[in-house]
Amino acid sequence: MAIPLTKIIFPYNIHMQKTFPLKYHVPTPITGGQVPFLRLARREDRQQKSELDIKEAKDNNEEITIPKEPERKLADIWRDIHGVDDWDGMLDPLDPLLRSELIRYGEMVQACYDAFDFEPFSKYCGCCKYAPSEFFECLGMTQHGYQVNSYIHATYNINLPNIFQRSLRPDAWSHTANWIGYIAVSNDEMSAHLGQRDITIAWRGTKTKLEWIADFMYFLRPITLKKIPCPDPRVKVESGFLNLYTNKDQSSQICKRSAREHVLEEVRRLVSQYQNENLSITITGHSLGSALAILSAYDIAETGVDVMDDGQAVPICVFSFAGPRVGNTRFKERLAQLGVKVLRVVNIHDKIPEAPGLFLNEHIPPMLRKLGEASLWFYSHVGAELTLDHKSSPFLKETNDLACYHNLEAHLHLLDGYQGKGQRFVLTSGRDIALVNKQADFLKDHLLVPPNWQQHENKGLVRNNEGRWVQRERLNLGDYP
């Protein structure tokens, strides 16, 4: 009977390995499902070591803890979000909590556009569609955790054409005023989330397109000309913004007080009301509203209405979206001295942030800067800048429509996907991309989202008891706080 070769060779190998252990090695027999791959063993080394450590800890009756990356809470880093260190290290890559807060405040500005009555045949053209008490509820934004305290109105009798919308009806609510923003305060739940009672002022930009770009080239005027205090007479701001912020109309029930007077009085009242709590003041706006946000932030800090009874000043921060330049270099320096923090979110293809001061601005050579600063047209941006690029989004189409580049919803979409310079665009919050086309035509056609899809149902008309289509009567606007 033949003897298998393996039965002859294998015992011989065992004998030789025992006799000369360093020279001969007997491989482990291969059996099904037990292949000792070295790469698998290496991959499991750490896990096995961890299991051994846990077993040893159990034997010694020691407490077992598995280290985890600490979860950050918004309340713990709220001062960083608010710009205490000028957002150092938070913009590239973009900090996730900062991203979510920028989007949230941007949505609070977008609410101004969504609630604005833009219909010239409406008796209420130029005002807000909703009462302050129902503002966020009517817009489906109750999760934002704020309550509107008062509305801000501005008079349009300044030399800035196409900024305001007026009714064609003789019985219009007002012929000299437009609703331009609101002041809100975080509720108890949101305040606990933030670690602060947050006073937010949101300013709306223009609802017309971009015909008023030329008006940004208006000359600079000393800010003190409108009785805004300033220790430096060389501090100057754009005259159109200054007029809009300070003008009033004694013949109008709505605009007997200027936007400035209303903001200062309300902020003073709220700071006094909540002075026993941690407070923050966050001012936000888009386009023209961004300029008004920066101007009002300066005014609040300079006049001292942010100072509590104990002498502590409430931190002031501005989140600006697609904003133009507001003042000269002296204005920029004074704003920084007052401790006002400004973060500007811009699309590099948007032309609005380039004006005014298209040619005379902070980018001119130092040797020409002194000469430029002596002129009436030298402007300088303020604060830190977060630069976005709409061409990085795979959802947006190529277009020559400058209004799309400037659109606020497009900016919020870009914020959602921006990770950092040179990094791939990835949406992070699940925010609906259809919002981009709410008031624009910017999404690629294959996404099947119709352009300008947001509509005011029946242009605001309802059927009365007689079956006729009429405008719904609203609250007495003069009673709005």
Q: Among 144, 153, 390, 406, which one carries the catalytic annotation?
A: 406
Active site residue 406: yes
Residue in the block written with tokens 């409406």 = 122
Buried b (16+ CB within 10 A) or exposed e, 328-341: bbbbbbbbeebebb
CA 401/CA 355 separation, integer angstroms? 18
Amino acid, res. 222: P
**Distance, C-alpha 361 to centroid of its chain:** 25
Cα dihedral angle (429, 433, 434, 439), rounded to 10 degrees? 100
Sign of the CA dihedral with 230 first, then 235, 239, and 240 last: negative
Instruction: Look at residues 147, 144, 325 and name the one whose alpha carbon lies nearest to residue 240.
Output: 325
Q: Among 186, 287, 290, 393, which one carries the catalytic annotation?
A: 287
CA 128/CA 456 separation, integer angstroms? 13
Active site residue 76: no
Query: Regarding beta strands 469-471 and 461-463, do their DSSP bridges make them parallel or antiparallel, or are they unpaired?
Result: antiparallel
Instruction: Look at residues 266, 263, 236, 258 and name the one whose alpha carbon lies nearest to residue 157.
Output: 258
The answer to whether 39 and 31 have CB atoms below 8 angstroms apart is no
Amino acid, res. 280: S
The answer to whether 241 and 274 have CB atoms below 8 angstroms apart is no
Q: Which residues pair with 307 in a beta bridge?
A: 313
> Residue 325, CB half-sphere, CA atoms under 13 Å: how many?
30
Q: Which residues pair with 133 in a beta bridge?
A: none
Amino acid, res. 419: Q
Residue 239 tokens read as 């005259």
Q: Among 215, 249, 306, 350, which one carries the catalytic annotation?
A: 350
CA 321/CA 287 separation, integer angstroms? 6
**Degrees to nearest 5, angle at CA 339 with 108 and 359:** 75
Q: At what angle do helices 288-303 and 239-246 cross, to 10 degrees?
A: 70
What residues act catalytically?
A: 287, 350, 406
